[in-house]
Amino acid sequence: MIPFSTARPRERPSIAAKAAAPLAAAFAIVALATGEPAAFGLVLVNAVALWIFGSGAEALAGRGWVTLAMLSGAAGGAAVALACGATDVATLAAAATTVAAAEVLTIYLTRQRGGTVMSVVLVPWLTGIVEIPALIWALIWAALVVGLSLLGAFGG
């Protein structure tokens, strides 16, 4: 299954979340270029989470609140990484995007109870678009964060 969008009210287009996801993807490329594959994977997973859940959170809570949550989460994550002795951009990006994505996921899950994520299923004979509960995708994101962290996404 490949998630691509949340079921959300479409009052106005998402700006903050759709700007944060490509920025995180750019940091993922920097992490890959510096030879940190686990950090690359983690930042890429966070970019996808920001893309999918960010627009729904922005529609539910407002652009200002979501922007503030993403910026404060990214600053807090980077500050913790610096306090723990991080020196490279990949580790700082992994920490910053992880906390920012966690903020967005929290906003979406608390504001949209029972929310769903539109996903493409690529299984032969079952191919199509289905709605998967957002909580399941949030748990998948959390499992990927833990797994990539154990592989060294935050430094060795």
What mean pLDDT is predicted for residues 58-67? Answer: 90
Contacts of 122 (CB under 8 A, 6+ apart): 1, 2
Longest dimension (CA), the chain: 51
Q: Using CA atoms, how far apart are residues 31 and 41, in angstroms rounded to an integer?
A: 9
pLDDT at 46: 95
Angstrom distance (rounded) from CA 34 to CA 95: 16
Instruction: Tell me the domain boundaries of the chain.
Output: 10-113+135-150
pLDDT at 156: 62
| pLDDT score recorded for residue 103 | 95
User: Do 21 and 51 contact (CB within 8 A), yes or no?
Assistant: yes
Q: Which residue has the higher pLDDT, 18 or 91?
A: 91
pTM over 0.85? The answer is: yes
Residue 9 is predicted with a pLDDT of 58
- The answer to whether the CB of 117 falls within 8 A of the CB of 52 is yes
pLDDT band at 125 (very low <50, low <70, confident <90, very high): confident
Q: How far apart are CA 155 and CA 152, in angstroms?
A: 5
- Average pLDDT of the chain to the nearest whole number: 89
Mean pLDDT comparison of 123-127, 130-134, 146-150, highest-scoring range: 146-150
Binning the chain into helix, strand and coil, the percentages to the nearest 5 are 65, 10, 20
Which residue has tokens 């989470």? 49
